[in-house]
Amino acid sequence: MTVPLVLASASPFRRMLMENAGLTFESRAAEIDEREMEAGLEGASPDQVALALAKAKALDVSQHFPGALVIGSDQTMSLGNRVYHKPKSLGEAKENLMSLAGKTHRLNSAIAFARDNDVVWEHVAHADLTVRTLSDAFVDRYLMRVGEKVFGSVGAYQLEGEGIQLFSKIDGDYFTILGLPMLPLLDKLRELGAIDG
C-alpha cells in the first residue's frame, strides 16, 4: 500500500512539477511566517535558511495529515553570504539585478519530508547561475517589458520567460532552479516505498 503524499505548498509551479511526474498527492500551504523565521536564523548560511523553512513547512502541514508523507520545500537565492528576497518595487528589482550582473549567484533548493510531526529526510540541491554584464538601459527596458512578473521571483527573473536573456551560463538542473529538486525527491520516495520503484 502506498503512503499518502502531501505537498506543503500552494505554489502552482511545485504542484505542476509533481503532477507532471505522475505523482498523486494533496497540497496544503503551510501556515508559517517565513520572514519572522528567517529573522531568528541570523548568521545561518543560505542552505541552512532554506532547509529550516522547508522543515518548518513540512512539520506544520504534517500535523493535519496523520500517517502521510509531507513534502516541504523552500529556496534561497544567495550571492556569497547575502540572501536575496522578492523585490517589493521596480527600483529594488533593478538594484538586485545590477548587484548580480557579471557574477555567479546560487539557488539553494531544500526539500524535507515529515511524517507524524517528525522530519524523516532532508536534502539541499544547488544551481549556479552567471548573469552576464548588464547595462542600466537594458535592465530598465527588461523591467518595463516583464512588468509585475518580477515581483513573483526572488531574482526578478523567470528563466522560462525573458529572464533567460540575463544569463551567460547556468550550472544545475531545471527542477532545482524552479525550487523543487525532483530527481533526489523521486529517488527518496522510491526508497521509502512511497511510489512505484
> Where in the sequence numbering do the catalytic residues fall?
74
Q: Which of 177, 175, 35, 34 is nearest to 106 (CA)?
A: 177
Place of cell 548588464: 134
How far is Cα 35 from Cα 85, in angstroms, rounded to an integer?
9
One DSSP character per residue, 112-154 reads EEEETTEEEEEEEEEEEEEEPP--HHHHHHHHHHHGGGGGGST
How far is Cα 133 from Cα 37, in angstroms, rounded to an integer?
34
Helices (H), the chain: 12-20, 34-39, 46-62, 90-100, 136-146, 174-178, 182-191
Rg (CA), the chain: 17
Please enumerate in sequence order all residues whose Cβ is within 8 A of that of 132, keeping only pairs 6 or more positions apart, or say none. Answer: 101, 102, 166, 167, 168
Strand partners, 119: 114
What cell does 193 get?
A: 516505498
